[in-house]
Chain A
Amino acid sequence: MKRWDLIVIGLGLAGLTAARTALARGARVLICGRGIGSLALFGNSIDLLGEIPPGADLEAGIAKKIAAEPGHPYARVGWTGIAAALTAFRELFCPPYAFAPVGEGNSLVPTGAGTLRPTYLLPITMTAGAGLAAEETLIVGLRGFRDFQENTVALHLRCRGVNIALPRYGLEGLSALALARLMDEPSFRESLGAAIRRQMAGERQIGLPAVLGLKQPATVLKTLESITGARIFEIPMLPPSIPGIRIFHRFREELIAKGATFLMGHPVAKAEIKNGRCTGIVVQNLPLSTLHQADQVILATGRFLGGGLQADRERISEPLFALPVHQPAGRGEWFRERFFHREAHPVHSAGILTDARLRPRDEKGKVLLANVRVAGSILAHHQAIDEHSREGIDIATGFRAAEEALAP
């Protein structure tokens, strides 16, 4: 039976990053998981730590965060590690479709809810949305496309919004994926560009739902910009996320080309533990269960949505290794009074505790599994939603977990 150097459990950004990092170091890698992770849902731009104000120095901001919260996942990686992981992430994308910050640090970009959110690395299709000037901006919705409401966005951003008919009949009710696919066709995007131009009243920035192509988003952007003479930007919206799918596709292409075995869709039902080590995992595809063995394992199964953490009415648990989950003392302390409370809900910082080398540990500090590393949002002591750090944590800890797993 084949033995892998590393098994990565989880197909989200943390798992994909870990697998890619390990492959670059020559490891034989198996990556598996149920579903395809949250990239297809929320993947858009790359958040690092949104609570650092735009323009402020990120290194100093992260250092401050680590000093204030020594249990934070960033404390396991440090600024040097974060920077190296982000550089590696950026190198995965070949220009023209690439990720970069706007200016030095964070920038504010519009969302499909009409709010502005802080983020760090933007794909070039979103760059023009950073620091938009409301009086010069037009928000364009597409007729029959329900996942993006230009009125809402325009109302909150205090700019003008228009809803335009698609260049062909019979397309009302199309999904985001269908629209993105049509954008890859030159004739479709050219007609759409012309339709937008007819609606313009001197605007110099145009926001569209994030459906600007799956295969050639940079080309779609260029076409629309040259026809309208304005700068075009994508606005993240309801799932599924086209920009996230682009990230997933790029990773998958790279991982398979570099020889990783990619098992998508079926859950890891069981882990085999011997003498404090994970000796193998059992992937279940009914009626069969298949054992896969490796020297090292990375757990990157995410939080509740992907099943990395499970909650019953009283307690939160980790289903695969039955790792202890750091969590509020009781159910009564999970949430604040109001859903939109100023402070983050304590339940969101529940997760797995690790030692400095990302191995799972208990509350007393005892390492529980010597050859398992934990990466991504399943880690304890972060508030990814409130502090805007989801992708940064995924990339930084995924990168570090693979380095640690393969360290001699």
Chain B
Amino acid sequence: MTPSARSPHPPLRSLPDLCVRCATCMAVCPVSRVTPRFPGPKQAGPGAQRFRLAAEASVDDWIELCTACRLCDTVCPAGVPISELNLMAKAKFLDERGRSLRDWLLVRSDWFGEFAARFSRIVNPLMKNRAVRWLLDALLAIDRRRELPQYESPTFRQWFRRRPVAVDADRRPRIAYFYGCFTNTNEVAVGKAAVVLLEAYGFSVTVPPQRCCGIPRLGVGDLSGARTMGRRNLELLLPTVREGVDILFSSTSCGLMLRHEYGPLLNLAGAEELAGRLFDICQYLLGMHEEKRTAVRFRPAPLRVAYFAPCHLKSLNIGLPALELLRLVPELEVTLIAAECCGLGGLYGFKKEKFSITEEIGRDLAREVARLNPELILTDCEGCRMQLRHLTGRKVLHPLQLLCAQLP
């Protein structure tokens, strides 16, 4: 007997007619869970798609309220690429209406990130200054209730470049690290933890040149911008891939973009080659434990921690490797937070007109955290970490940071 050769995906990815209108997606959409202003994935995606014509102007302004969490995709029994339909509709709507200066600026956070990090001593107080925040709110509609990230100097890249190379580096297997913009300029500690951990697992770490993955551009429906970012990253990363070196990411959103959007959505040459060598760092380390390829034993950590699974991790479809890794730490009590989506939606949560939606989605998460009352919260995504800090005022780290601290 031979397995069927029939592909589960239809040849065309954007077929709304695959939808049988079963409403399963309505069971998970975080936005329609909190507001009637967004009709939900069924209506916004395949439902409205049947009425959209390329030659006619968009009428569905609510399409902008989709946060692109992609949870709808993960539950659809018919395999409808719902979030992609939303993204295409959003792109068309914003192409017609035009994007604001704010959106233009926000998606270029990678540009001013390096600059802001260099002048962090001046920039950081400004980011907290009430007058500045009022101006940003009034002029650019960046909500003043949302804390802006603080910049760090030196950046991760600078730190990495300056650190001494291990003596036996050339005898160790090589591994490459995609750190992502936020690690580079705002959470350098995550990158440091990744490098220290990987070295403890016996690797020699390299950091190939890299750019923003481009996912912020998708957030404002800027497909050509995202494609440009993708093309540059492919040029920069493929040489590493061709040397037979695996590339690991610690940000699940960057990872999702690099692994699953460069090819199927943006149709970039070389995307599949890159995706085949690209792994979530926790998935990779967990695999080493499962295959007994490491002798790393963590020190006991008598702590009660709560782990939150980011939406984009769910889309990666690799299970919850960070949670499983954390279970290898003796005495650590880990609970999975029973909440779907933090609500931030990346840059979405900074926008004044969307702030209340992100707050409302986040309330469910905050309530669960309050119920668990953990000593520490862990999650793989920088957006979720920002939102969790904002909602709860608690300490929130990347799982790598705890693991690194528990190395012998």
Contact = CB atoms under 8 A, between A and B. Distances in A.
B239 interface: no
Contacts of A128: none
Contacts of B263: 286-287
B336 A257 contact: yes
Contacts of A177: 26-27, 29, 32-33
Contact of B75 (A265, A273, A320): A265
B303 interface: no
Interface-central residue, A34, A38, A144, A307, by most chain B CB under 10 Å: A34
Contacts, number: 149
A165 to B, nearest CB: 14
Contact of B36 (A172, A249, A287): A172
Contact of B336 (A256, A265, A307): A256
A94 interface: no
A26 interface: no
A149 B327 CA distance: 48
Interface string A264-277: 11111111110000
Interface string B1-38: 11110111100000000001011101101001111100
B320 interface: yes
B315 interface: yes
Contact of B23 (A41, A173, A368): A41
A284 B22 contact: no
Chain A interface mostly: loop
A181 interface: yes
Interface in A127-170: 144, 170
A65 to B, nearest CB: 29
Interface in B40-86: 40, 73-79
A79 interface: no
A256 B323 contact: yes
Interface stretch (B169-177, B180-188, B270-278): B270-278
Interface string B155-194: 0000000000000000000000000000000000000000
Contacts of B6: 319
A1 interface: yes
A37 B364 contact: no
B317 A270 contact: no
A55 interface: no
Contact of A175 (B3, B33, B271, B317): B33
A283 B336 CA distance: 24
A170 B37 CA distance: 9
A239 interface: yes
Interface string A35-49: 111101100000000
A201 interface: no
Interface residues of A, number: 58
B24, B74, B263 — which one has the most chain A CB atoms within 10 A of its CB? B24
Q: Which bucket holds chain B's interface residue count?
A: 35 or more
A283 B317 contact: yes
Contacts of A307: 8, 77-79
B34 A181 contact: yes
Contacts of B327: 259
B330 interface: no
Interface of B: 1-4, 6-9, 20, 22-24, 26-27, 29, 32-36, 40, 73-79, 259-260, 263-264, 271-272, 275-276, 287, 290-291, 314-320, 323-324, 327, 336, 338, 364
Given A174-B36, A239-B23, 14 more contacts: A36-B74, A40-B24, A171-B36, A175-B32, A177-B27, A253-B336, A264-B74, A264-B317, A271-B3, A287-B263, A288-B259, A288-B272, A305-B20, A321-B4
21 contacts: A36-B74, A36-B77, A176-B26, A177-B32, A178-B33, A240-B24, A259-B327, A261-B319, A264-B317, A266-B317, A269-B8, A273-B1, A273-B2, A285-B260, A285-B316, A286-B264, A287-B260, A288-B272, A307-B77, A319-B6, A322-B3
Interface of A: 1-2, 34-38, 40-41, 144, 170-178, 181, 238-240, 245, 249, 253, 256-257, 259, 261-273, 283-288, 305-307, 317, 319-322, 368-369
